[in-house]
Structure 1
Amino acid sequence: MVLGYELPNLEELYLDSNNFHGRIPNSIANSSKLTKIYLFHNNFISKSPELSFVTSFTKCSYLIKLAFGDNPLNGILPVSVGNLSTSLQYLYANNCDLWGNIPKEIGNLSSLILLSLNGNQLTGSIPTSVVDIQKLQVLYLGSNKISGSIPDTLCELQNLFALTLSQNLLTGAIPDCIGNITALRFLYINANRLTSSIPASLWLQNYLLVLNLSSNFLSGSLPQEIGNMKVATLIDLSVNRFSGSIPGTISHLQSLIDLSLAHNTLQGSIPESMGKLVSMARLDLSYNNLSGNIPKSFEALRYLTYFNVSFNDLSGEVPTGGCFKNFSSQSFMSNEGLCGDPIYGLLPCHTTGPKRRNLKLRVVFALLGIIVLITIAMALGYAIGRYRRKNLVENTTDFAPGTTLSRFSYYELMQATQGYSENHLLGSGSFGSVYRGTLNDGREVAVKVFDLQHQNAFKSFDVECEVLCNLRHRNLCKVISTCSNQDFKALVLEYMSNGSLEKWLYSDDCLLDILQRINILIDVACALEYLHYGYSTYIVHCDLKPSNVLLDEDMVAHLSDFGIAKLLGEGESNAHTTTMGTLGYIAPEYGLEGSVSIRCDVYSYGIMLMEVFTRTKPSSEIFFGELSLRSWINDSMPNAITRIIDSKLLVPEEEDYTEKLKCLSSIMELALNCSMENANERVNMKDVVVALKKIRIQLLT
């Protein structure tokens, strides 16, 4: 389809992901009243390498927004760009194969608020004339081949909010005056060739949210002043040449979510005070020369899902409480002095001297205490048995080994659910039903009652007990108790007040925005990462779908329903089963051969990722023959993505529409990589977690 317009009274033109092709006609400029031109995500080419259509747009004297990114233009940005309307505020020319220098005439656009030239092949240096764009708030020049140094003139842009210079060929030092940009909140200068140390003024940026200086040749030590960046959420200084110790003042960064100091030459111990970083979700200190113990205070970091201290000189016992229950041996490799739980791939710790004697005394006293308790219990049992011999309780409660859960009888659960009434029914599945209940102490719970008429119900109950009672992760549904006898089996679970993800997706009364959906999918990915890598054996969920993702009052997702989960034995990477998951979500090898591995979960996760952002079930009636949800999305990428995305997520008039579209495109690419037909080609859940968190950061910036 070729574009041709001559509409003199046209004020706004939107052509986004419509698969238009051909050249961008200069005749668009005849619509002299145009204020906004969007030509994103098409297949336009230019008439000449100098992009003559840009010159024609200089006739649009009222132009405020101009966007022609994500087109294969393959040209240079002409000097005439400086003759565009002085009222122009937004210029998007990202990902359109631009080459050559950025013309110095760009400085004539004095009203420009946003300039995006990301993802091109631009060369030369950053023109010093950008200092004349005093209203500039966002400057994106990342993923080009720009060389030279970062000009000091950038420091004079006092309204600059976000600066992205990543993945270029920049050399020299970061300007000393960088701290003078008091409005700066996001700074990306990663993946360049910068040298020298970080200027002291940068640590005075009290309101900087994101600082990424990774993959450069920066050196020097980290100063105590790093503690001034109290609102920062991400600091990445990895793959540089920093030395010295980690300053204790880093504990002042109470908002920090992601910290990476990996691949440097840092020495000394890990500050105990870092246990105060209560918001921390990712911490990477790998590939340094750190020594001493892993602080036990880290057990209090309840949101920490990724932790890596591999390839250091750490010693002592690895903590086992709190978040450490979710980590695997990958977090602690190549630290010869570390010891602890074999689940971490470590040798057990040996106690010697006075500590050993104290341990023996504690063991002796503990045994004496147990003997006394057993004697008392036997005496009480005998007395009660004589008194109530004819009134034995038929319903008992069983628990997984090592758990200390409350006991509930069959009658207590019946009372809590008002006789398992229809009014309390939350949902039904293959092996039973789930009811909402209220305990005597006022706690709300979910009671999952197994239908023992089903031949696999007993096995399903045993599997869920083994999985849920032994595993601990913030994104797994928590077991409060189990109740079991020959005629009745039930799990008492934590009640999720916001119901299932499926309810939120398909109910007209509920709405999830992009960020909420990403957060939920990250929660599910973290749960799967733990099941696949954080336990002593591989655990395959086998039935991943939105109805098995439950949301608590804070909209945190919890993975549930492990009735057909598979626990692979030591050394096993796959198993065979005759119990099938839900059609549409199961991997090809699972459905055809009954072959189950952690890659099956990755496939199901990819399908669920597609469903969540398209709001279309894989079992939808629109799919028939060879057309499936996956092929539908694959055929729509990348140019027609707006046709498949849930219409509630994208409003073309939004200012962040383009960034949302990029994030959604990245999510769909990730979903396709998860659901490859060949199991060996699928990404793993560790990489999925990292990818989604990067997308979330992009969306927030």
Structure 2
Amino acid sequence: MVTYAGEIPWAIGNIHSLEIFSAPNMSLNGEIPHSILNGSSLKAIYVMLNHLSGKLPDIRSDSNLEELHLWGNNLSGNIPESISNVSKLRNIALMANSFSGHIPNSLGNLKFLEELRLWKNKLTIETNSNGEWSFFASLLNCKYLKVLDLSVNPLKGVLPTSISNLSQTLQVFSCADCRIEGTIPMEIGSLNNAIILELTNNELIGSIPTTIGGLTNLQYLGLSGNELQGSIPHDLCGLKGLFELSLDDNELDGPLPPCLGELTSMRKLQLSFNKLHSSIPFSLWSLKDILKVDLSSNYFNGSLPLEIGKLSVLQHLNLSMNSLSNDIPSTIGNIRDLQVLALSSNRFQGLIPTSFGDLVSLESLDLSGNNLSGVIPRSLEGLRHLNNFNVSLNRLEGEIPSGGPFANFTSQSFMKNYALCGPPRLQVSPCKRNTHRNSKKTLLHVLKYVLPIVVSIIIVVTLIVVCTPLKKKRKSTNSTTIEDSFPLKEWKRISYDQLSKATDGFSGGGKFRHCIQGNTF
């Protein structure tokens, strides 16, 4: 392999044994030497992402060239007809240049052609009297064609029914941004091995052909940016391997087929800017591996279920500009990979879930134009990646958080929430500074210093109340006489003579000196 920088030397073509010339992204300029493309041994040329200019030279019919990669330069002029005589050519990659004129119908002579990539040029296609492309009919001989990418060229015209003549091995068919008119022919369903089918940003009308539902190998279907009408065919639910469905920016109407929730391989669902209505099918929230859901600018109604929180790997959710209502499910806070959450211009009510503070990957949060109330949760201060925030046109109240990303937001984020308060730069009313905090602090001060005094006083008073009656009672008890203890009425009167007789003249002895013993009758 030989590589060069600067201009390509003309003498390169004199190296008869040169089979591969590779010089990608090396700032090469000037024109391509005729000699290099006509070397008898050259099989592949890779000179992409340079600054080559001028026309593509004619190529000899006896060339052994198989790979021609000149994309990402400044080449111009027509694609030479002589290229169709290089019978061994398998891959032609001339995209991202400035080629103009018709795409040669003679390219159909390249029976070994596998890839034809001509996107982002100024090419056109010859049409018949009906405005249909004649180029497709010429590709009938290209039995091994796998990739046909003509996107971003002003091709105009109408897709022909002869699209069915394209190789059954075709895997990629892309004609995005080509100003194609008319309807999508039903014959497009003949591309049985198609993996990518892209017709975005054209002027297509009519309905989506039901025959597309038979392309069971399809992984990407891009029909966005057209004028397609009617409902989304239930037949699309047969595309079990579909990775991305892009039907946004059309005039599609009717409900969303619930069976789309059965496409478990789906990673991106883009249906924005249509006229779809009814509620969002519950089955849609079972697509556990989906990364992006954009249903914005439609007429969907109803509420969001708690099951939305099961979309654990979801990164982008846009449901703005619909008629969705009721509370925003707090379970959305479980979607830790979520980067974009847009729920603006709906009829959501209730509080902003504090669980949104768990959306650690969130970069953009738009809740504007709803009926949300309550405060902005301070948990959002922890979202360090949040750089776009909008809660305008709601009924929020209280102090706007100031920590984390809120230090960088402007008044545009909070407009027309008349009960919000914060610093002057946010153009909201000033907060009654620390009223709640001061009252709380005062209460704590009272509890800390006054309460012990009050408790002490209560204890002293209690002791006085309890002890005073006890003291009086004790005093009363001490002054009690024997007579008080023994009532007089129970005493028996005894005469002196009786007492003398009873004690035998007051005589008697005992251990404790003398005692009086007597018996009364």
- Establish whether TM, by shorter chain, passes 0.5: yes
State the match for 1:205 in structure 2.
287
Within 5 Å, which residues of 2 pair with 1:478-489? Answer: none
| 2:293 matches 1:214 | no
Residue number among 408, 422, 427 corresponding to 1:326 in the alignment: 408
Alpha-carbon distance in structure 1 between the residues aligned to 2:162 and 2:436: 82
| 2:91 matches 1:2 | no
Residues 214 and 238, structure 2, Cα contact 8 Å, conserved in 1: no
Structure 1 residues 2 and 319: alpha-carbon distance in aligned structure 2, compared to 1, 3 A threshold: same
Report the Cα offset of residue 353 of structure 1: 7.1
Structure 1 residues 291 and 42: alpha-carbon distance in aligned structure 2, compared to 1, 3 A threshold: same
Alignment RMSD (CA, Å): 1.7
Structure (1 or 2) with the larger CA radius of gyration = 2
Structure 1 residues 318 and 53: alpha-carbon distance in aligned structure 2, compared to 1, 3 A threshold: same
State the match for 2:379 in structure 1.
297
Alpha-carbon distance in structure 1 between the residues aligned to 2:435 and 2:336: 40
Residue number among 143, 152, 172 corresponding to 2:225 in the alignment: 143
Structure 1 residues 352 and 133: alpha-carbon distance in aligned structure 2, compared to 1, 3 A threshold: closer
Within 5 Å, which residues of 2 pair with 1:54-133? Answer: 54-133=136-215
Task: Kindly indicate whether structure 1 or structure 2 has the higher relative contact order, using CA contacts under 8 Å at least 6 residues apart.
Answer: 1
Report the Cα offset of residue 289 of structure 1: 0.5
Alpha-carbon distance in structure 2 between the residues aligned to 1:10 and 1:275: 57
| 2:242 matches 1:160 | yes
| 2:102 matches 1:20 | no
Deviation per CA, 1:424-445: give whole Å up to 9, x if none. xxxxxxxxxxxxxxxxxxxxxx
Within 5 Å, which residues of 2 pair with 1:364-513? Answer: none
1:222 partner SS: coil
The amino acid of 2:104's aligned partner reads P
- Decide which structure has greater helix share: 1
What is the total number of aligned residue pairs between the two structures? 364
Residues 275 and 298, structure 2, Cα contact 8 Å, conserved in 1: yes
Residues 320 and 341, structure 1, Cα contact 8 Å, conserved in 2: no
Alpha-carbon distance in structure 2 between the residues aligned to 1:329 and 1:353: 24
Alpha-carbon distance in structure 2 between the residues aligned to 1:275 and 1:347: 25
Alpha-carbon distance in structure 1 between the residues aligned to 2:373 and 2:140: 62
Structure 1 residues 67 and 353: alpha-carbon distance in aligned structure 2, compared to 1, 3 A threshold: closer
Structure 1 residues 84 and 334: alpha-carbon distance in aligned structure 2, compared to 1, 3 A threshold: same
1:218 partner SS: strand
Alpha-carbon distance in structure 1 between the residues aligned to 2:435 and 2:340: 41
Deviation per CA, 1:190-231: give whole Å up to 9, x if none. 011111010000011111000000011111111111111110
Report the Cα offset of residue 343 of structure 1: 2.5
Question: Gaps (5+ residues) in structure 1?
Answer: 365-701
Report the Cα offset of residue 43 of structure 1: 1.6
| 2:152 matches 1:37 | no
1:334 partner SS: coil
Alpha-carbon distance in structure 1 between the residues aligned to 2:437 and 2:121: 71
1:244 partner SS: strand
2:261 partner SS: helix
Report the Cα offset of residue 362 of structure 1: 8.8
Within 5 Å, which residues of 2 pair with 1:279-358? Answer: 279-350=361-432, 355-358=437-440
The amino acid of 1:240's aligned partner reads N
Deviation per CA, 1:397-435: give whole Å up to 9, x if none. xxxxxxxxxxxxxxxxxxxxxxxxxxxxxxxxxxxxxxx
Alpha-carbon distance in structure 2 between the residues aligned to 1:352 and 1:15: 68
Report the Cα offset of residue 2 of structure 1: 1.9
Alpha-carbon distance in structure 1 between the residues aligned to 2:324 and 2:210: 30
Alpha-carbon distance in structure 1 between the residues aligned to 2:427 and 2:445: 27
2:357 partner SS: helix
Report the Cα offset of residue 351 of structure 1: 5.6
Report the Cα offset of residue 326 of structure 1: 1.2
Report the Cα offset of residue 360 of structure 1: 6.1
Deviation per CA, 1:337-370: give whole Å up to 9, x if none. 1112222222222168775444568999xxxxxx
The amino acid of 2:373's aligned partner reads S
Structure 1 residues 59 and 354: alpha-carbon distance in aligned structure 2, compared to 1, 3 A threshold: closer
Alpha-carbon distance in structure 2 between the residues aligned to 1:12 and 1:353: 75
1:201 partner SS: helix
The amino acid of 2:78's aligned partner reads V
Deviation per CA, 1:104-125: give whole Å up to 9, x if none. 1111111100011011001111
State the match for 1:247 in structure 2.
329
TM-score (normalised: structure 1): 0.51
2:182 partner SS: strand
Residues 303 and 325, structure 2, Cα contact 8 Å, conserved in 1: yes
Alpha-carbon distance in structure 1 between the residues aligned to 2:116 and 2:284: 37
TM-score (normalised: structure 2): 0.68
Alpha-carbon distance in structure 2 between the residues aligned to 1:292 and 1:355: 19
